[in-house]
Structure formats: C-alpha cells, structure tokens
Amino acid sequence: MAARQVDTTLPKDVPTQLLIGGKWRPAHSSQTLAVSDPATEQVVAEVADGSVEDARLALEAAVVAFSGFKKTSAYQRSRWLRSWFEAILAHRDPLARLITIENGKPLTEALGEVDYAASFVEWFSEEAKRVYGRTIPATTTDRRLLAIRQPVGVVAAITPWNFPAAMITRKLAPALAAGCTVVLKPASLTPLTALYLAKLWQEAGPPDGTLNVITTSQASAVADAWMSDQRLRKVTFTGSTPIGQELIRKSADQVQRLSLELGGQAPFVVFDDADLDLTIAAMLVSKFRNGGQSCVASNRMLVQRNILAAFTERATAATAALRIGHGLTPGVEIGPLIDRPGRQKVLDHIADALAKGAQVQTGGRALDGSGFFVQPTVLSGVQPGMRVMEEETFGPLVAISAFDTEEQGVALANSSPFGLAAYAFTASAGRAWRVAERLEYGIVGLNEGLPSTAQAPFGGWKLSGIGREGASEGLDAFLEEKYIAWGGIDA
C-alpha cells in the first residue's frame, strides 16, 4: 500500500459556482455541496448546491441561447470546438489532478482520461462539418423532395462520476457540434472537473448560455424541473439502469428524445487457444481501469476448463502485483472506490461468492484506515447464482468461472439481461468471427481489452441502454430529420 497522505491542493482557477447564461453564480439558496477525496475521505472543496430554481434559470438561458446558436454555421461551431479541444490539452495537468482528487483514479489514468475526453471534442469538431441531407426522386416532375437535418433543441446532459471528463465531452461535443445548447448536471461526487471543462468552453468564445452547469445534490428534482418543460427536447444520460428506467418514464409526457448509456455485466470469455500473455494484459486493463468502476469493465471471467489452472495462476500473480494507494502517489495503479456504498457492494459480492463456495486466490478484504480501498481480488470457483455473475460489481474483483465447449461459453456470456460490452480471446479467426456474431452485446472486444474510442459507436443492447455515443451515430443523436416537399416547380 503506497502512502495515502499527499498534497491535494486544487488548481487555483477551479470554478465552484453554477454557470448560467455565461455567468458564474452561487446557488439561489446559497447552499453548498462538499466534494471529498475518496482516498482520504477529506473534504477538498465546496461547490454551489443548485436547486430547482437554479435549474429553471439554466434551462431558460439554454432556450434563449438556442435561438441564436442554431443559426451559427457548422464551420463556426467546429472552430469553437477545436479551440475547446486545444484548451483541454493545454490544461491536461490541472484537469487530471482534479480527476484524481475527486474520483480517486491514479494520475496516469487521469491523464489518459483527459486525452480520451479531448478526443471526443476533436472528433466532433470535425464531424460538425459533415451533417448532410438528401434529395429524394419524386414521382412527378413538378415536385422536389428533400430531407435535411437540424439540431434537436435544448439538451440535458446528466453525467456520472466514473469518467468525470470523458462522459461530459462524449455528450457535449456532438450536441454543440449539431447546434444544440446544453444544461449539464454532473455527478455530485465529481463536480470540479465538469466546472473546469465548462470554464474552458466559455474561454473558447462561444455565445453565452450554450453550456449551463448545475451542480446539485437534488438530482431527481432538477431532472423533473427540466423534463417537465416542453422546451427541453433531449436527455442524454450515463449511469445506472434503474435511473435510466426512471428517465424513460419521466420523458413520456413531453416525448423527449433519449440517449441512455446504462449498466453492464461484461463477460470476458477465454478459449483454450488464446494467447495468454495478450489475454492477461487485456484482463488487467478491462478489469482494473478506474479500479473496475467502468460500465465496460469485465465482470465475469469465463475460462475454458483445460486452461483454467494456467489462467487463474497468471491472473492471480498479475493482480497481486498491482500497487494500491492514493492516485497522486507515483507508481500507484489502483485507487480507492468512489464512496462507502461503492466499497460495500464489492465486499458484499466477495462475501456472497465465498458463502456459496468460491475461493480467494488473492486479496478479498478492505484496507484499514481512511479511504474506500478494497484489495485487488481474485476469486476462483465462481458459479452462476452468485451475485458477481448477475450484477455489475464496479470494483477490483476478478471472478473466474469455467466452461467446457464454445457453445457453453457463448451461452454463459449471453445469460444476462445486460448487453453493453463483451470480450472474447482466441487465436482462431473463424471462432473469433463466430463468437463475435453470437454475443448479444453492443460492443465486442476480440483479443482486445479496451475497445472504447471516439470514432466508434459506443452503446448497449437490452438493459444496457438506448442509442450510441461517439462516431457519426453520436452526432445523429442530436439531430432531427425534416422532410421538405417542394411543389409547383415548372420543370
């Protein structure tokens, strides 16, 4: 365990107020919200705790801004986004430091997240210029039929704490590229990164009110205030499946468009012809990125029985070697869980599996002292019916289960109501293709532990969500189609 006492002084220029209509303001109620470092449990900042009144003002500002922003040229929006991209990279160090302090992930990972966040802004600054329409052959010569695409309107973005920068830019960059204006509610656990990103957007010079930020402890009330208003046309959300289901219900009255990136329960299927060096390296990234707190984290290691012992031994050695501690300490590879309930869920999954017959190969316990740390853990003998095989653990737990045939491996992988990401490892091209086609998931990593990238469509099947982020699909999500029939043409 690396030392937990480190200097957590925040960058000096981090905003702590709400951003509404281009102005930084305290909450209407003057209330503030404490932000803590999950590695020490110490409060590191207080930010404005926005209320329903503030949320309504933010929506009003976005509505006013939309009337002008939708008329700006795609090339102008592209330039604002390009400036934002450059500003994010120029502030890579303070942004990464904020991410580590409020989220807990190691600094090297936080730097990687800033690059990942910036890549969405770069990609959509370029895609902004490629929103094309169509002409459609008419049945008579006096008509012309056209389909054009226009911004969907004012968008609410509700973002999670596990990627405090990248989940914001993945939503905001395409929305702004399309000409939408945004009200953003970042996770209350990680508001500082969001506020810093918003400051950089403002400094890029776009019109006031294009991005408004409400940090709040009253997430549900703020969502209600926005979604009961007919002028809000779209909600884009990353978070848990139960909250996503709640948003589907809330969207019904105003028939708001939805993009939902929800929970996962990713299988990591290892066939007996897999290259074990490559597989273990992929397992480390897919399982331990952000300490396992990712929707695409592998949750169930399904290993063909004749290589079970070799895989378990290699996975255990690699996991036991991981260095745990405060994310700002050089060399640390695993930080804390985000909070007490997050840590308890991992411990509950371990206890449940052990009670039902699994065995600990390494780890298995919380660390004493402050901070929400759980040892990187490997469990063998994991079976269907254990919680770790059915629910998303969101923590540093490698749960290993065996299968015999390819059919059994695929069937086990598909035996989940979730369908975000799945992974498969094999040296056979035929098997790779066959298995990829049979997996009921929106994302498949074939001999690959980190498939996420700005230019590919990211999203889930079944309980894992609706819609795609990234790629051209990510921009489509913020556009409405309009069909124009033009008659009376003297051909």
Site membership for ligand SIN, residue 241 (CB under 6 A): no
Span near ligand SIN by CB under 6 A; candidates 66-74, 181-189, 294-302, 407-415: 294-302
Q: Hey, which residues between 143 and 162 contact ligand SIN (CB under 6 A)?
A: 162
* CA-CA-CA-CA torsion sign (79, 171, 33, 218): positive
* Residues contacting residue 225 through CB under 8 Å, at least 6 positions apart: 52, 55, 56, 59
Within 67-217, strands assigned E span 134-136, 144-151, 154-158, 182-185, 211-213
Exposure of 481 by Cβ count < 10 A (0-12 exposed, 13-18 middle, 19+ buried)? exposed
Active site residue 295: yes
In this chain, which residue has its C-beta nearest to ligand SIN?
452
- By beta-carbon proximity to ligand SIN, the closer residue of 110 and 307 is 110
Q: Choosing from 109, 295, 333, 469, which is the catalytic residue?
A: 295
Candidates 53-61, 125-133, 293-301, 481-489; binding stretch for ligand SIN (CB under 6 A): 293-301
Does position 36 interact with ligand SIN (CB under 6 A)? The reply is no
Residue placing its CB nearer to ligand SIN in the complex, 211 or 296? 296
Distance CA 111, CA 369 (A): 27
DSSP 170: H
- Tell me the closest approach of the beta carbon of residue 261 to ligand SIN, in angstroms: 6
H-run or E-run covering 77: helix 74-90
Identity of the residue, 115 or 224, whose beta carbon is nearer to ligand SIN in the bound complex:
115
State the minimum distance, in angstroms, from the CB of residue 451 to ligand SIN. 8
- What is the token pair recorded at 191? 């508001």
8 A C-beta contact, residue 100 and residue 107 = yes
Query: Which residue lies nearer to ligand SIN by CB, 163 or 226?
Result: 163
CB of 266 within 8 A of CB of 296? yes
180 is catalytic: no
Structural contact between residues 48 and 27, judged by C-beta atoms closer than 8 angstroms: yes
Tokens standing for residue 390: 């059915």
Shortest CB 408 distance to ligand SIN, Å: 28
In the complex with ligand SIN, which residue's Cβ is closer, 49 or 102?
Answer: 102
163 binds ligand SIN (CB under 6 A): yes
Least CB distance to ligand SIN at residue 162 (A): 5
295 binds ligand SIN (CB under 6 A): yes
Using CB under 6 A, pick the residue from 176, 296, 397, 477 that binds ligand SIN. 296
Q: How far is the CB of 160 from ligand SIN (least distance, A)?
A: 6
Stretch that binds ligand SIN, among 211-219, 290-298, 395-403, 427-435 (CB under 6 A): 290-298
Nearer to ligand SIN, 210 or 238 (CB): 238
User: In terms of CB distance, is 163 or 403 closer to ligand SIN?
Assistant: 163
Tell which residue, 215, 261, 198, 217, has the closest CA to residue 235.
261
Residue 121 Cβ vs ligand SIN, minimum distance, rounded to whole Å? 15
Burial class of residue 35, CB neighbours in 10 A (0-12, 13-18, 19+): buried
Hunting for tokens 């979730």 — which residue is that?
Answer: 418
Stretch that binds ligand SIN, among 47-55, 99-107, 288-296, 326-334 (CB under 6 A): 288-296
DSSP notation for 43-70: EEEEEE---HHHHHHHHHHHHHHHHHHT
Nearer to ligand SIN, 83 or 162 (CB): 162
Q: Binding marks (x or -) toward ligand SIN, 181..220, rule CB under 6 A?
A: ----------------------------------------
- Copy the structure tokens of residue 10: 């925040």
Residue with tokens 């970042």: 186
Residue 456 CB contacts under 8 Å (≥ 6 apart), including other chains = 470, 471
Interhelix angle 107-127/92-103, rounded to 10 degrees, is 120
Say if residues 132 and 178 touch (Cβ distance below 8 Å): no
Site for ligand SIN in 429-448 (CB under 6 A): none
DSSP element (H, E) containing 399: strand 397-403
Separation of alpha carbons 297 and 186, rounded Å: 21
* Closest CB 486 distance from ligand SIN, rounded Å: 42
Contact 145, 135 (CB under 8 A): yes
Our CB check for ligand SIN shows the closer of 311 and 441 to be 441
Which residue stretch of 91-99, 201-209, 212-220, 292-300 sits at the interface with ligand SIN (rule: CB under 6 A)? 292-300
Kindly state whether residue 110 participates in binding ligand SIN, applying the rule CB under 6 A.
no
DSSP class of 307? G
Binding residues with ligand SIN: total (CB under 6 A):
8
How far apart, in Å, do the first and last CA atoms of the chain sit?
A: 79
**Under rule CB under 6 A, residue 294 binds ligand SIN:** yes
Q: Does 452 bind ligand SIN (CB under 6 A)?
A: yes
Catalytically annotated residue among 261, 333, 392, 469: 261
For ligand SIN, the binding residues (CB under 6 A) are 162-163, 238, 261, 294-296, 452
Q: Which residues are catalytic?
A: 261, 295
